[in-house]
Structure 1
Amino acid sequence: METTICSILAQMQSILTSSQLKRLGEVLRTALSSTSATIEAESNENLLALFLTAKEVEGCSARTINYYESTIQHMIGSIEKPYTQIESDDLRRYLHEYELRRGASKVTIDNIRRILSSFFSWLEDEDYIVKSPVRRIHKVKTATVTKEVLTDEDLETLRDSCANLRDLAIIDMLASTGMRIGELVGLDITDINLQERECVVTGKGNKQRPAYFDARAKLHLQSYLESRNDDCPALFISLNSSAERISIGGIETRLRKLGKTTGVGRVHPHKFRRTLATHAIDKGMPIEQVQKLLGHARIDTTMHYAMVNQSNVKASHRRYLE
């Protein structure tokens, strides 16, 4: 921009006085700076929109796309540069300041890093930038925290506290299938095969896979369906007169209340999933089969979910190494 302004002033030097040249320079700088800022803002918006469209085409859910959008917009609002001019040091400072201001965990910071890596890698692949600035920012090391799972006693306590057939069927389906909460909410009655004790769920990336439930879940599910007299195609519906498909928030709220009233503690849908993975590995199910069961694309994700019981490690040591 400054080179352009100097060129214009040089051409006008023989026509304008010194004061006029100075004023012209000020006007040009103000006008071009404003125009440049507008172009940069529009460029940022267009590139982000194109990236989000690409993620949608890849099959990412609306929830994931919204998370990507808010994360990237927060970053650009803090750095205040065009995407194509952002450098590694800019992102390092942003992540550091975000952690300090928000008191964010290392896991959260690494999640942000992964989203930014996906975005800038896309910019690189599409030739908007030469090299992603995230390439030089390595994975954030996080402490391994052993997360709680539900014991057999916890599950029985939750079942006994259910005041209706729907809640009982929901708990059994989560406990025996290990499916994601979004997959459970999306199930229709026609997706269920009671005879074979299996159902078809639609997971991340709109990928379908079979999920299997046990005999207890079959009986409670059958009783729940027989008690209904509505025309809603959804497998699980709200308890009010609207007979609408239950929401993710509706199930989360109900489980949270059950956990609080029974003294089980914090109960959420994902805890059932982690419990199933842990129990499956403890009982000797091959990790590749647990991966299929949970619908994970990568096996290291399955390993992150499943925590092997330390007593089993001790028993294996005595069996194989003593």
Structure 2
Amino acid sequence: MDAKKELMERLAAMMPSMEGELRWVLEGYCITKEPVRERSNLKKRITAFLTAKKIDGLSPKTLKNYREMLMGFQSQVDKHVTKISTDDIRGYIGYLADERHLKDSSINTHINTLRSFFSWLDMEDIIKKNPMRKIKSLKIDRIKARRPLSPEELEQLRDGCRSYKEKALVEFLVSSGCRLSEVAGIQVDRVDWQSRSVVVVGKGHKERTVYFSVRAKLMLQEYLSLRKGGCALFSSSRSPYLPMSPRAIEKAVQRVGERTAGSRRIHPHLMRHTFATNALHGGMDITVIQHLLGHSDPKTTLIYAELRPDAVKYAYERVIA
């Protein structure tokens, strides 16, 4: 049925007494029907994707990160998922770099999230062509990005501490090799001060024992003796003295780093790399380091621990020369 005839019939059904007049008025008009536009279903698909990943067993933290990144994508590219093109995604990556000024490592996290989302859409036969197929991750100098703190940088970081709380944080992180989430979960009554050890809960809810240095013990005990309250090893400074969140610990370490002379960004994960490298440099067996870090694969430990040239030379001269 042509558009004009369809319109005439619909109007006549609404106003049957005026059918003759309507036909006379529309006689000289050429009428075309506007195509129905597909509404965006991106938000709905994102929700379905997150539900599927929750069923697959992804952690609440990972799901939260996925949601935030995908909703950010939806706010910029709000199209029907079948209409989203590779150019749309390239434009969004450009937006992340040029307008949000994200680092390459952060942009890669967004790219990986989009890759996971569109792969799921493809696997579910929701889209016929995956627009992420031609999108590659940005190349990052992993060695430079993971470079541990040098002895000089570590001393500068110590000099940047203004309180025993900051000193305790820095010393515990760099001598235990704990993950940020593990540190946030430690209770004071779980610490064995005699053996300078504590049981932490790592990835996959696996428990392991970690150790800390004499220097860290002294700083921790001084910090605990001065603070007003709290059950966690690191608590907030205000009542009701709740445990510091991972984000709060991260900010505290970052503030200390900003006071030092260097321009390098300091974060807890960097302290973990430094611990691993110092342990390897000091002659600790790689399997022991693997256990202390809570790695299931020794290859991961080798990524964390950087064997410095001076350590290689020392080992050669001790055994060969």
Change in Cα spacing, 1:220 to 1:104, as seen in structure 2 (3 Å) is: closer
Partner Cα distance (2:205, 2:30) in 1: 62
Over 3 Å counting, the alpha-carbon distance change for 1:97 and 1:288 in structure 2 is farther
Aligned equivalent of 1:268: 267
Report the CA distance between 1:113 and its aligned residue. Answer: 1.6
Read off the aligned partner of 2:33 and give its amino acid letter: G
Q: Answer whether contact 1:157 1:262 (CA < 8 A) is retained.
A: yes
C-alpha distance in 1 between matches for 2:180 and 2:81: 35
Change (3 A) 1:86 1:254: closer
**Hey, which of these two has a bigger chunk of helix by percent?**
1
Counterpart residue number, 1:25: 33
Q: One-letter code of the match for 1:25?
A: K
> Match of 2:280, as an amino acid?
I
| Aligned equivalents of 1:248, 1:129: Cα separation in 2 | 38
Q: Determine if contact 1:59/1:206 at 8 Å carries over to the other structure.
A: no
Aligned-partner Cα distance in 2 for 1:91–1:298:
34
Aligned equivalent of 1:3 = none
Larger deviation, residues 155-164 vs 82-91: 155-164
Paired residues of 1:59 and 1:205 also in contact (CA < 8 A) = no
Residue deviations 1:231-288, cap 9 Å, x none? x332211234542323445434443444455647654323311211222232344555
Q: For 1:99-135, what per-residue CA distance to the aligned partner results, in whole angstroms no more than 9, with x for missing partners? A: 4555554433322221111212232344433564324
Counterparts of 1:299-318 in structure 2 under 5 Å? 301-315=300-314
Contact 2:159-2:260 at 8 Å conserved across structures = no
AA aligned to 1:140 is: L
SS across alignment from 1:201:
strand
Q: Which amino acid aligns with 2:105?
A: V
Give the 3-state SS of the residue equivalent to 2:48 in structure 1: helix
Q: Distance in 1 between matches of 2:222 and 2:8?
A: 94
**How many Å separate the matches in 2 of 1:165 and 1:222?**
9
Q: Which structure has the greater CA radius of gyration?
A: 2
Look up the match of 2:19: none
Partner of 1:170: 169
Shift of residue 174 of structure 1? 0.6
- For 1:2-25, what per-residue CA distance to the aligned partner results, in whole angstroms no more than 9, with x for missing partners? xxxxx5749749958694895572
Q: TM-score, normalised by structure 2?
A: 0.72
| Aligned counterpart for 1:251 among listed residues 241, 249, 252 | 249
Q: CA RMSD, aligned part only?
A: 4.0
Equivalent of residue 49 in structure 1, options 47, 50, 66:
47
Matches within 5 A, 1:101-120: 101-102=99-100, 104-120=102-118
Q: 1:152 to 1:47 in 2, by over 3 A?
A: same
Q: Which residue number corresponds to residue 232 of structure 2?
A: 234
The alignment of Structure 1 onto Structure 2 pairs a total of residues equal to 304
SS at match of 1:146: helix
1:262–1:80 CA distance, 2 compared to 1 (3 A): closer
Tell me the CA shift for residue 53 of structure 1.
3.5
